[in-house]
């Protein structure tokens, strides 16, 4: 949306009805939330945005913090592979935003962001417009199907990615259960970087675990555009060999070129594969909000920000965090919920400091990510990341982090604790 369109939409938004907070309070006004005092608008209530909003209020309760999120409930990607595999249900990964509103005083605006004007400090939503002093965006990701011939809108619905937990998670679960014994589940993995490096490989385990018990003769065929497994490779390979021999067929360095929707076929440079389920994970880029107001140049995939403050390198007073950020600019970190949440806390602290006329705080971030390899055993990877004033990037600390020495049931329990911990830290 350009500046003129933004102003037109804002005019249409006058008189719109706003809804925020758990009790559905309705307000009629042009500016849907008249601004009193200093306001920080947080857009996108996933792991990054929800953590940011909560921690802004914890650090400075006087701030007027508005969290704009288009979904009514928070649905967690972590643990969603277990829903596909039948070990958990959607209700186990679905949460309310109520505590953020009731306990911390965050105003939740359930609306879609349509435009951002970083010059006049305004944001246009499906329920009207509002102004801000600073904005923090955690837009998540968007999907790039343009390099896969035949992947039109219809094919996108038929062949889900399941990397934004929700309807597609349910669809994949249902399609898996409806497979006939002997049929094949095809999973494609794009070249890194993508959301959650170990995520697709955990999905392989969850699908294989289900097929082993329920669909004799069935297989999961993995077409991976990368040279090898991107994360926890040795641990995944050991589990695949020990538990799922004959059930997982792994093809590294295999890029998907086209789909034939009618015959449910995937075309690669070397072969064609037919499946009952086609789980196509495309290449990814920053979420749509990151491209509003010129915050991400059209030809770039990810959003450039300062590694110190997460402030946009293009517009002042807008900070961007989470999966959408450009690893080439800030330094390479996994696109994970843990990192998005850690960036959210760092950005909250920095915004509170900058609003008080102080310097940004130096970010010091961590990542922990568990994966399940069957219903009981887990594995993990951890990392610690520190801002380097010389390179002006965030870099992994070599002495810290690494992967678990082996898989174990103890790590399976820890994986559950980890999930409960991050959900509570983000929303509780």
User: Which residues between 60 and 119 bind ligand FAD (CB under 6 A)?
Assistant: 68-71, 77-78, 80-81, 112-113
Site string for ligand FAD, 281-310 (x = CB under 6 A): ------xxx---------------------
Contacts (Cβ under 8 Å, ≥6 apart) of 242: none
Tell me how far, at minimum, the Cβ of 388 lies from ligand FAD, in Å: 23
Q: Find, among 212, 157, 152, the residue nearest to 185 by Cα.
A: 212
Least Cβ distance, residue 269 to ligand FAD (angstroms) = 26
Coil, strand or helix at 211: helix
**Whose Cβ is closer to ligand FAD: residue 342's or residue 349's?**
342
Q: Does 196 bind ligand FAD (CB under 6 A)?
A: yes
Per-residue mark of binding to ligand FAD, 153-192 (x: CB under 6 A): ----------x-----------------------------
| Alpha-carbon span 28 to 281, nearest angstrom | 42
Quote the CA–CA distance of 181 and 281 in Å, as a whole number. Answer: 24
Q: Does 47 bind ligand FAD (CB under 6 A)?
A: yes
Tell me how crowded residue 270 is: count the other CB atoms within 10 A of its CB: 9
Q: In terms of CB distance, is 149 or 384 closer to ligand FAD?
A: 384
Please tell me the count of residues contacting ligand FAD according to CB under 6 A: 35
Name the residue nearer to ligand FAD (CB basis): 43 or 389: 43
Do the Cβ atoms of 409 and 372 come closer than 8 Å?
Answer: no
**d(C-alpha 373, C-alpha 203), whole Å:** 9
Q: How far apart are CA 136 and CA 131, in angstroms?
A: 13
Residue 67 near residue 73, CB atoms below 8 Å: no
Helix (H) or strand (E) holding 56: helix 47-59
Question: Residue 68 CB, nearest distance to ligand FAD (Å)?
Answer: 5
Instruction: At 203, list the tokens.
Output: 């999905």
Stretch of 40-48, 96-104, 383-391, 401-409 contacting ligand FAD, by CB under 6 A:
40-48
Nearer to ligand FAD, 150 or 233 (CB): 233
Closest CB to ligand FAD among 50 and 352?
50
Strand order through the sheet with 184-189: 248-251, 219-224, 184-189, 277-280
**Rounded CA gap, 115 and 288, in Å?**
10
304 near 329, Cβ under 8 Å?
yes
If binding is defined by CB under 6 A, does position 199 make contact with ligand FAD?
yes
Question: Among residues 85, 190, 193, 337, which is the contact residue for ligand FAD, using CB under 6 A?
Answer: 337
Q: Residue 52, interface with ligand FAD (CB under 6 A)?
A: no
Tell me if 48 contacts ligand FAD by CB under 6 A.
yes
DSSP 337-354: HHHHHHHHHHHHHHHHHH
Question: Does the footprint of ligand FAD cover residue 335 (CB under 6 A)?
Answer: yes
Binding ligand FAD (rule: CB under 6 A), the pick from 311, 323, 326, 377 is 323
Specify whether the CB–CB gap between 174 and 167 falls below 8 A: no
Q: Which of 85, 115, 140, 360 binds ligand FAD (CB under 6 A)?
A: 140
275 binds ligand FAD (CB under 6 A): no
Nearest to 310 by CA among 384, 362, 369, 358: 362
Question: Which residue is closest to ligand FAD by CB?
Answer: 46
CB-CB contact of 98 with 22 (8 Å):
yes
- Closest to 228 in 3D by CA, of 245, 243, 207, 250: 250
Determine, following the binding rule CB under 6 A, whether residue 319 of this chain makes contact with ligand FAD.
no
Report, in Å, the least distance between residue 180 CB and ligand FAD: 25
Among 13, 46, 115, 383, binds ligand FAD (CB under 6 A): 46
Contact positions vs ligand FAD (CB under 6 A) = 44-49, 68-71, 77-78, 80-81, 112-113, 138-140, 163, 195-196, 199, 287-289, 322-323, 335-338, 340, 369-370
């Amino acid at each position: 949306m350009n500046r003129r369109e933004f102003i037109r939409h804002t005019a249409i938004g006058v008189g719109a009805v706003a809804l925020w907070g758990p009790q559905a309070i309705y307000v009629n006004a042009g500016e849907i939330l008249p601004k009193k005092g200093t306001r920080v608008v947080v857009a996108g209530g996933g792991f990054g945005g929800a953590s940011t909003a909560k921690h802004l209020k914890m650090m400075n309760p006087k701030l007027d913090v508005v969290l704009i999120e288009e979904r009514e409930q928070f649905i967690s990607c972590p643990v969603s592979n277990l829903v596909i595999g039948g070990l958990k249900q959607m209700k186990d990964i679905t949460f309310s935003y109520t505590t953020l509103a009731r306990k911390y005083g965050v105003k939740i605006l359930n609306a879609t962001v349509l435009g951002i004007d970083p010059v006049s400090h305004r944001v246009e939503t499906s329920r009207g417009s509002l102004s801000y002093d600073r904005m923090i965006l955690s837009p998540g990701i968007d999907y790039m199907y343009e390099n896969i011939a035949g992947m039109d809108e219809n094919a996108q619905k038929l062949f889900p990615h399941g990397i934004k937990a929700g309807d597609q998670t349910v669809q994949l679960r249902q399609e898996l259960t409806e497979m006939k014994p002997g049929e094949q589940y095809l999973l494609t993995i794009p070249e890194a970087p993508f959301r959650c490096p170990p995520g697709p490989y955990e999905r392989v385990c969850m699908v294989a675990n289900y097929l082993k018990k329920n669909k004799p003769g069935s297989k999961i065929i993995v077409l991976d555009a990368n040279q090898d497994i991107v994360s926890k490779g040795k641990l995944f390979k050991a589990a695949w060999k020990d538990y799922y021999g004959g059930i997982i067929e792994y093809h590294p360095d295999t890029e998907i070129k086209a789909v034939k929707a009618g015959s449910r076929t995937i075309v690669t440079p070397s072969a064609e594969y037919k499946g009952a389920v086609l789980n196509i994970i495309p290449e990814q880029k920053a979420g749509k909000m990151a491209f509003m107001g010129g915050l991400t140049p059209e030809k770039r995939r990810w959003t450039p920000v300062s590694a110190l403050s997460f402030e946009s390198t293009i517009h002042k007073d807008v900070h961007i965090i989470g999966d959408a950020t450009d690893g080439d600019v800030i330094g390479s970190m996994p696109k994970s919920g843990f990192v998005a949440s850690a960036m959210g806390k760092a950005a909250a602290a920095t915004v509170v400091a900058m609003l008080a006329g102080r310097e940004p705080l130096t970010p010091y971030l961590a990542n922990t990510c568990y994966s399940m390899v069957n219903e009981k055993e887990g594995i993990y990877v951890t990392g610690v990341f520190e801002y380097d004033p010389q390179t002006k990037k965030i870099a992994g600390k070599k002495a810290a982090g690494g992967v678990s020495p082996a898989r174990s049931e103890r790590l399976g329990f820890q994986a559950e604790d980890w999930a409960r911990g991050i959900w509570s830290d983000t929303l509780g």
